Chains A and B, each alone.
Chain A
Amino acid sequence: MSGPSTYEPSNGFTKWLDARLPIIRFAKDTAIDFPTPKNLNYWWTFGGILAVCLVVQIVTGIVLAMHYVASTEDAFASVERIMRDIDYGWLIRNIHANGASMFFLAVYIHMFRGLYYGSYKSPREVIWILGVVIYLLMMATAFMGYVLPWGQMSFHGSAVITNLIGAIPIIGDPIKTYLMGGPAIGDPTLNRFFSLHYLLPFVIAGIVVLHIWALHVPGNNNPTGVSVKDVKKDTLPFHPYYTVKDGFAIVVFLILFAYFVFYAPNALGHADNSVEANPLQTPSHIVPEWYLLPFYAILRAITFDIGPIPAKLLGVIAMFGSIGILFVVPWLDTSKVRSMRYRPIAKQLFVLFVLASVGLGFCGANDPDKFVFKFGPDKLIVNYVDTQGNAQVSGRFDNFEGAGGAQEFVSKLPPSAGASVALSEEGFKWLWLSQILGAYYFLYFLVFLPLLGIIEKPKARPPSIAESVRKKHVSVPAAAVNPAPVAAE
């Protein structure tokens, strides 16, 4: 979309450089003059925020790596030393650990933005696919980073994930062994994870370059989804309009970031990771970091076999499928209309999709067999052995004592029944919620998006970006005099 370059080298040196390495021209065309739709809202600032996050992670990570020791003997102690003994080590580690969370917060908003405004649709499929690749690499990086401090959650969380890979038939076991470098998670695993954790962010940076390159071919999508028709009327130069808008959003985002770093550095983490890893003792409740919880919930939602495929493998397939499906979204969505502003049904299903995704996060954080809510007060049951020697469970009792109580029932059984009274709770399990929400997640992509494009009747779209902006401001007299300043919203 960038028009012919308007850069004019102004002095002898820049002229000389421009003929040899036109780097100033490149910067001016891509970051200063780049024509950007004039109606972008704040959801479009998350790209810039993400770039800041990546730089923050790389800078703090390189500093941490100067003090961190990748060995099962010393890793935990070296991180404690960073926190206690190294000047400002606490600050740098808190920034890095919370930075990962902020990074994911921003990427999720960025992705939901894309799903709502149809930014994955032609001609932006490659931008979207590169984005999903970045997201996958981010998850791999964060997963391996979380193992490094060698706490209880680091160790057992990674054990659960590597075991998942072992569930894949035939190739699963060898892959698992090659991933861990031994029969179990240990020194070889920690060392290779550190090596890759250092490398992958730079791979991400490389793919970000491709992502932006691909973006600069068709240019930005915008809240109306209507393509730029007239560069003069529909767009503004990136600088100063969007450098300032992005800059403002980045500052607001950094305030939130700083709140976590300084006032709640452990709020997003897990207490168990402050205990050094012990391979002989699993913490009672293993959970991944919050940003992976929805996928963990999908993994655990499958508790039933389908034909010859066991539940465990199905769970793994569903989990990887829930991410993999993002790659083909551009082809699953059959609608010609990009922005859901003009898609009355899709818009509502999208809101449900966001709620389902967040809800899956809560499912992932909770014990699947515990209850979202209870159907009624807890009751009592009696376990006993009948005269044939089979284990039996009684009906439910409201009371222990009194007529019709559990005690009365027990007193009627022979002593050989070995009766024991237990609490019986009934309610709506987190497992069921995760099954419902997980089903919606897949339905949204596999059924609703393809069908809606055919059956939904979209609302009228504005004829152009310039028109869409002007309509909102009809009361402004002579809008044409200087449309630029009002254009930002």
Chain B
Amino acid sequence: MSEHGSKAATANAGHAGDAHAGETRRDFIHIAAASVAAGGVAAVAWPFIQQLGPAADTRAASSAEVDVSKVPEGSEIRVLIGGMPFFVRHRNAVEMAKAVADDKLPMRDPATDESRLVKMQDGAYNPKILVTSGLCTHLGCVPVGPAQGSTGDFGGWYCPCHGSHYDTSGRIRKGPAPKNLAVPKYEYLSASMIKISL
């Protein structure tokens, strides 16, 4: 190794006369080859990992329009978007009043009822309609609600998996879930149409 290494060392001005200079050159080749190989592996790995992600058609099917006027008062409908469940609830007067009245109470994930609503096109809130994710924030079960005959201790939803209770604003009030039912991205297209996006 040092035989042809020393020749190389003379060419390598900075290390002239250094007995180990040849190894520096060999090291360079090793490191360069390994880096190219690593780069190649990474470049090939990228598409193989990326193909696991959501495909274009899956990403495209990621919103739905819902006519909220069809939801009976005091009940809800459940919408599946790309496999994700959402609740669209038409709250009655008592439920709305309770949601606002509880705003001041201590909660695990404090939020006012209004902060969980979205403005209509005229800039006013529509407190009758509450839209939330249908996944319990604990481990992702789908809670039961008025249509299933159980709304839990706080009148909203009850998750039977491990006993989480949500109130009429979808806020977590009791049980293991750490967060309120998420409010998805949605907008009012008209007074009665909303568009929910993932």
Contact B178 A181 (CB under 8 A): no
Query: A390's closest neighbor in chain B, by CB?
Result: B105
Q: Does A31 contact B (CB under 8 A)?
A: no
Q: Which of A162, A163, A184 contacts B84 (CB 8 A)?
A: A184
- How far does the Cβ of A297 sit from chain B's closest Cβ, in whole Å? 13
Number of interface residues of B (CB under 8 A): 29
Is A280's CB under 8 angstroms from B78's CB? yes
Q: Is A226 an interface residue when CB atoms closer than 8 A count as contact?
A: no
| Residues of chain A within 8 A of B49, CB atoms compared | 178
A183 contacts B80, C-beta separation under 8 Å: no
Q: Which of B54, B84, B140, B160 contacts A181 (CB 8 A)?
A: B54
| B53 shortest CB reach to chain A, Å | 6
Contact with B along A163-192 (1 / 0, CB 8 A): 110000000000001110111111010001
Q: Is A181 in contact with B53, judged by CB distance below 8 angstroms?
A: yes
A93 at the interface (CB under 8 A from B): no
Q: Indicate if the CB atoms of B138 and A312 lie closer than 8 Å.
A: yes
Q: How far is the CB of A202 from chain B (nearest CB, A)?
A: 19
The distance in angstroms between the C-alpha atoms of A70 and B55, with both chains bound, is 18
Interface centre among A163, A183, A185, A285 (most CB of B within 10 A): A183
A369-B163 in contact (CB<8A): yes
Q: A282 CA to B159 CA in the complex, in Å?
A: 9
Q: Which of B81, B160, B198 contacts A282 (CB 8 A)?
A: B160
Point out the residues of chain A lying under 8 angstroms from B163, CB to CB: 369
**Cβ contacts under 8 Å, A300 to chain B:** 162
Chain A nearest CB: distance from B64 CB in Å?
A: 12
Residues in B whose Cβ lies below 8 Å from that of A355 = none
Contact across chains for B53 and A368 when beta carbons are under 8 A apart: no
Is B161 on the interface with A (CB-CB < 8 A)? Answer: yes
B160 touches A182 (CB 8 A): no
Q: Are A282 and B161 in contact (CB under 8 A)?
A: yes
**Considering the complex, which residues of chain B in the window 17-76 have a beta carbon less than 8 Å from any beta carbon of chain A?**
49, 52-55, 58, 62
B160 lies within 8 A of A160 (CB): no
Cβ-defined contact, A182 with B58, below 8 A: yes
- Other-chain contact of B54, A183, A279, A281, A369 (Cβ < 8 Å): A183
- Whether the Cβ atoms of B58 and A160 lie closer than 8 Å is no
Pick the residue among A186, A281, A284, A368 that contacts B83 (CB under 8 A): A186
Q: Say yes or no: A177-B84 contact (C-beta < 8 A), given A280-B142, A282-B142, A286-B161.
A: no
A41 at the interface (CB under 8 A from B): no
The contact string, 1 if C-beta is below 8 Å from chain B, for chain A 127-166, is 0000000000000000000000000000010011011100
A165 to chain B, nearest CB (A): 11
C-alpha gap A184/B139 in the complex (Å): 13
| B54 neighbours in A (Cβ, 8 Å) | 177, 181-183, 188
A311 at the interface (CB under 8 A from B): yes
Enumerate chain A residues within 8 angstroms of B162, measured Cβ to Cβ.
Answer: 300, 368-369
Q: Mark B81-108, 1 if CB is under 8 A from A, else 0.
A: 1111100000000000000000000000
Q: Quick check: is B5 within 8 A (CB to CB) of the other chain?
A: no
CB pair A183 B142 closer than 8 Å: no
Checking B53, B134, B139, B198 against A163 with a beta-carbon cut-off of 8 angstroms, the contacting residue is B139
Question: Which B residues touch A192, using CB under 8 A?
Answer: 52
Asked if A183 and B52 make an inter-chain contact with CB atoms under 8 angstroms apart, the answer reads no
Residue of A nearest to B79 (CB): A280
Q: Indicate whether A122 reaches chain B with its CB closer than 8 angstroms.
A: no
B16, CB-defined interface residue at 8 Å: no
What would 28 A/B residue contacts be, using CB atoms closer than 8 Å?
A162-B140, A163-B139, A164-B139, A178-B53, A181-B53, A181-B54, A182-B58, A182-B82, A183-B58, A183-B82, A184-B82, A184-B84, A185-B83, A186-B58, A186-B82, A186-B83, A188-B54, A188-B55, A281-B142, A282-B141, A282-B143, A284-B160, A284-B161, A303-B176, A311-B176, A312-B138, A312-B178, A369-B163
9 A-B pairs closest in CB distance:
A184-B83, A163-B140, A282-B141, A186-B83, A178-B52, A284-B160, A182-B58, A282-B142, A183-B82
